[in-house]
Structure 1
Amino acid sequence: MFDVFGRWYKRKFSDPDSAMLLLLIVLISVVLAIWGGLLMPVLVAAIIAYLLDWPVVKLCNLGSGRLLATTGVLMSFIGLCVLTFVGLVPVVTQQGINLIKESPAIWEKGQQWLLHLPEEYPDFVQVGHIQQMLQGVNEHIVGVGETLISASFSSLADIAAILIYCILVPLMVFFMLKDKQELLDNISRILPRERRLIKQVGSEMNLQIANYIRGKVIEIIIVGSVSAATFAIMDLRYALLLGVLVGFSVLIPYIGAAVVTLPVAIVALFQWGISPEFWYLMVAYGIIQALDGNLLVPLLFSEAVSLHPVYIIVAVLFFGGLWGFWGVFFAIPLATLVKAVFNAMATEPEPSEQQAAS
C-alpha cells in the first residue's frame, strides 16, 4: 500500500512544475482561509474587472486608448448599476415587504387547506398527524422570525462594509483595468520559473471562467425578464419580485430552480387556489425552465463549463457551506479550477522538460 502511494507521489511530485502548482494552491487556500473576509473587496473588484475587461479590449482593438476605454466602460457599468438600483430595487423591496406582511394570511390559508385533508382522504391522512406537523412548523417559524429580527439589528454594523464596497471597489476596478498588463507582469515576477502547469491551469481557467461569467450575466437578465413579463401578463401578484428570484436562481444550477418553484407556487395558490389559472401559470413556468436548461444554457455556454451535474451539485454544497453566498456564486468556477488542476496533474511533462528537471 505504502509502495503504491510512494510510486504515485514520486511520479507526480518529482516534477518541479507539479510541486510548484501544489504549493501555489496551498498558499492561496491558506490566505483565503485566514484573510478571506478582509480580502473579499479585492476579490470582488478582481471579478468585476475580469468581467469588464472584454469590452475594454474590444474598444482598444477599435483604436481607443486603454485609459479612455477603461473610463467609458466603468462609467457605463456604474450608471447601469445605479439605474438598476433606482428603478428596480425599490419596487422589488416594496413587493417583498408586502409579501412578508401577507405571509401570515398565506400560512393561515395553507393550514386550513391541510386541516381539510383528513375529511377528503380519511384513509390516508389523520387529524392528529396534521396538527402535530403544524405545531412543529409554527414553532420553527417563530424561531426563524426571532433569528431574522436579531440579524436585522446586527446588520446595521455592515453599513461601513457597504461604503467600502461602493467607494473602494470601483477604484480598484479602474486601476485593475487600466494597469492590467503592469499588474500581470508584477505577478509574473513573483511566480516561480517552474510554472508549466500553472500556465496550463491559468489558460484553461481564463477561457472557461470568462465565458461562464458573461454567460451567467446574460442568462440572469433573459430568464429574469421573461419570467417577470410572463407573471405580469398572467396577472400574478409580486410578478417583479418573483421574476428577480427566478433570474438569480440560475446561479445555483438544479437546486436554484427547485427552490424558487416553491414561492412561485405558494403565491399562485394563495391568489387563485387549485384552479385553471394556477395550472396555466405552472405550465408557463415549466416551459421557461425547460427553455433555459435545453436551449439557453447550451447556446450561451456551449462547452465552456463541461462539468457533470453531480460535480456541480457537490461544488455548490461544499463551497456554499465554506464561504456562504460567495461560495455558491463562484461554485462552478471553483469546481472548474479543481478540474483544471486535476487535468494538469494528470498530464505528463514532455521528454525535454523531464531532462531539464533532472
Structure 2
Amino acid sequence: MQKQWWVAAGVAVVVFWFFISIEPVLMPFFISMILAYLGDPLADRLEAMGLSRRLSVSLVFLLLTLIIGLTLLLVVPILGRQLGQLVEALPVVLIWVQSTVVPHIQSLTGMDLSTDIDEIRQAVVDNWKETGSFAAGLLAQASRSGLALIAWIANLALIPVVTFYLLLDWDAIMAKCRASLPRSWEPSLVRLARECDEVLSAFLRGQLIVMLCLGAIYAVGLTLLGVSFGVLIGMLAGLASIVPYLGVIVGISVAGLVAFFQFGDWLILVGVAAVFGFGQFVETVVLQPKLLGDKIGLHPVAVIFAVLAGGQLFGFTGVLLALPVAAMIMVVLRYLHGHYKNSSLYDADRHRLKDEELP
C-alpha cells in the first residue's frame, strides 16, 4: 500500500512538472475548460428535455458566444475610453491635490508636503510617457513578429473550438476518469470530487455572478450620479469584491475622491455612499443567500494569498485558476483534517481504549 502511495505521488510530481513546462500554451485550454464546466449543467438540462447532446451543446455554445460577444462589444470600448481619460486626468488631479488638499493638511499638521507631491506628480507624468513609449515599441515589435501574432490569434481561435468539443464530450470524459480510478480509492475520490464540484459551482457560477452584478450596480449608480469614470470604477470595485468587503472599500474610496474632485461638494459623497450601500444590501439580502450560501469557505487572507501565489507560479493562467484550485485544496485539506482527528496520531489514548474494548 505504501508503494502505491509513492507511485501516486511520483505521478503527481511528473504531471505538475509537465504543466509548468508547457504553461505558455495552457491558457486557451484552461479557459475552455472553465467555459465548458459552466455550460455543462445547462446542456444536461436541455438534454433531459429531449434534445440531442449535439443540439443542446450547440444552443449552450451559441448562448456563451452571445454573452461574451456582447460584453466585448458594449463594455470593453467604454472601459478603454474611460481608462484613457483617467490617464490624461492624473496629472491634473495631482495638481489639485497639491493646491487644495495639501495646504489643509499643512495647516492641521504643520508638515510640508508640497515638495513630495510635486515629485510624485512629475514621476507619474514621466512614467506614463515611458509606458506609452514602451507600449508603442511593443506593438511595433508584435507587428514585425509575424509568428508571435499568428500564435496569439491561434490561441484565441482555439478557445471556441476546444470549448465546443469539451462540452460535447464532457459527460463521457468524466465517466472515463471515474472508471480509471483505483477501485479501492474510488468511493473516497468520488465523494471528494462531488464536494469540489459544489465548491466550484458556488465559486464559478455564484461568486462570478455576484461580482458582475455588483460591478453593474456600482457602474450604473455612479454613472447616473454623473461621476467620471463611473463604469471603470464600478467594474473594478465589482472585481475586487472577490475578497469580502474589499470591493466596497476600494470602490467607495476611489469614487468618493473622484466625485469630490469633480463636483467640489460634500453632498455628492452621500450619493456615492448610497450607491455602494445599495450594492451591499443587494449582495447581503439577495445575491449571497441565493447564489453562494456558505459553500466556498475561503478566508479573505487565503483568497489574497491564492491569487498572488497563482500569479507568481503561472502568470495570468495562475491568476485565472488560483481560486478554483484553492477551493479544491481546501476540500482536500478538510478531508485530511477529518482523518487526522480520527487517527491515533491525534488521540492515541482514545484509539488504545478502542483496541482494548475489542474482543
Which TM-score tier does this pair reach, normalised by the shorter chain? 0.7 to 0.9
**Distance change (3 Å), C-alpha of 1:98 and 1:140:** closer
**Distance change (3 Å), C-alpha of 1:87 and 1:310:** closer
Tell me if the contact between 1:212 and 1:301 (Cα under 8 Å) persists in the aligned partners: yes
What is the rounded CA distance, in whole Å, between the counterparts of 1:348 and 1:15 in structure 2? Answer: 20
Superposed, which structure 2 residues align to 1:283-322 within 5 Å? 283-289=274-280, 291-292=282-283, 296-322=287-313
Q: In structure 1, what is the equivalent of residue 16 of structure 2?
A: 29
SS at match of 1:330: helix
31-40 vs 250-259, greater mean Cα deviation: 250-259
Q: CA RMSD in A?
A: 3.1
Q: In structure 2, what is the equivalent of residue 184 of structure 1?
A: 174
Output one character per residue of 1:15-58: Cα deviation in whole Å (capped at 9) or x when no partner.
Answer: 94x55664454344323322222122111111110011111011
**Distance change (3 Å), C-alpha of 1:44 and 1:203:** same
What is the rounded CA distance, in whole Å, between the counterparts of 1:151 and 1:85 in structure 2? Answer: 22
1:63 to 42, 47, 50: 50
What is the rounded CA distance, in whole Å, between the counterparts of 1:198 and 1:37 in structure 2? Answer: 30
Tell me if the contact between 1:209 and 1:333 (Cα under 8 Å) persists in the aligned partners: yes
What is the rounded CA distance, in whole Å, between the counterparts of 1:136 and 1:111 in structure 2? Answer: 10
What is the rounded CA distance, in whole Å, between the counterparts of 1:290 and 1:333 in structure 2? Answer: 26
In the alignment, is residue 142 of structure 1 matched against residue 126 of structure 2? Answer: yes
The list of structure 1 runs, each at least 4 consecutive aligned residues, that deviate by more than 6 angstroms after superposition, is: none
1:336 to 327, 341, 356: 327
Deviation at 1:181, TM superposition (A): 3.2
Tell me if the contact between 1:220 and 1:248 (Cα under 8 Å) persists in the aligned partners: yes
Q: In structure 1, what is the equivalent of residue 88 of structure 2?
A: 101
2:64 to 73, 77, 80: 77
SS at match of 2:261: helix
Tell me if the contact between 1:253 and 1:313 (Cα under 8 Å) persists in the aligned partners: no
61-70 vs 278-287, greater mean Cα deviation: 278-287
Matching residue's letter, 2:37: Y
Q: Provide the TM-score with structure 2 as the length reference.
A: 0.80
**Distance change (3 Å), C-alpha of 1:92 and 1:139:** closer
Q: Provide the TM-score with structure 1 as the length reference.
A: 0.80
In the alignment, is residue 168 of structure 1 matched against residue 158 of structure 2? Answer: yes
Output one character per residue of 1:284-332: Cα deviation in whole Å (capped at 9) or x when no partner.
Answer: 3244245435753243211220223333333233223333444344333
What is the rounded CA distance, in whole Å, between the counterparts of 1:262 and 1:329 in structure 2? Answer: 26
Q: In structure 1, what is the equivalent of residue 353 of structure 2?
A: none
What is the rounded CA distance, in whole Å, between the counterparts of 1:152 and 1:343 in structure 2? Answer: 49
What is the rounded CA distance, in whole Å, between the counterparts of 2:313 and 2:281 in structure 1? Answer: 31
Deviation at 1:245, TM superposition (A): 2.1
Tell me if the contact between 1:45 and 1:173 (Cα under 8 Å) persists in the aligned partners: yes
Deviation at 1:210, TM superposition (A): 1.8
Tell me if the contact between 1:251 and 1:329 (Cα under 8 Å) persists in the aligned partners: no
Tell me if the contact between 2:200 and 2:324 (Cα under 8 Å) persists in the aligned partners: yes
Identity percentage of aligned residues: 23
1:265 to 256, 265, 268: 256
Q: In structure 1, what is the equivalent of residue 354 of structure 2?
A: none
Deviation at 1:94, TM superposition (A): 1.8
**Where does the alignment leave 5 or more consecutive residues of structure 2 unmatched?**
143-147, 343-359
Q: In structure 1, what is the equivalent of residue 197 of structure 2?
A: 206
Output one character per residue of 1:155-194: Cα deviation in whole Å (capped at 9) or x when no partner.
Answer: 6637545523431111111111112233334545665555
Deviation at 1:256, TM superposition (A): 4.5
Tell me if the contact between 2:28 and 2:156 (Cα under 8 Å) persists in the aligned partners: no
In the alignment, is residue 54 of structure 1 matched against residue 41 of structure 2? Answer: yes
Tell me if the contact between 1:117 and 1:125 (Cα under 8 Å) persists in the aligned partners: no
Q: In structure 2, what is the equivalent of residue 112 of structure 1?
A: 99
What is the aligned length? 334
Matching residue's letter, 1:146: E
Q: In structure 2, what is the equivalent of residue 215 of structure 1?
A: 206
Deviation at 1:137, TM superposition (A): 6.0
**Distance change (3 Å), C-alpha of 1:330 and 1:269:** farther
Which has the bigger relative contact order, CA under 8 A and spacing at least 6?
A: 1
Output one character per residue of 1:51-85: Cα deviation in whole Å (capped at 9) or x when no partner.
Answer: 11111011011111100000111012112222222
Tell me if the contact between 1:46 and 1:176 (Cα under 8 Å) persists in the aligned partners: yes
**Where does the alignment leave 5 or more consecutive residues of structure 1 unmatched?**
1-12, 351-358
Q: In structure 2, what is the equivalent of residue 92 of structure 1?
A: 79
What is the rounded CA distance, in whole Å, between the counterparts of 1:28 and 1:110 in structure 2? Answer: 53
Matching residue's letter, 1:176: L
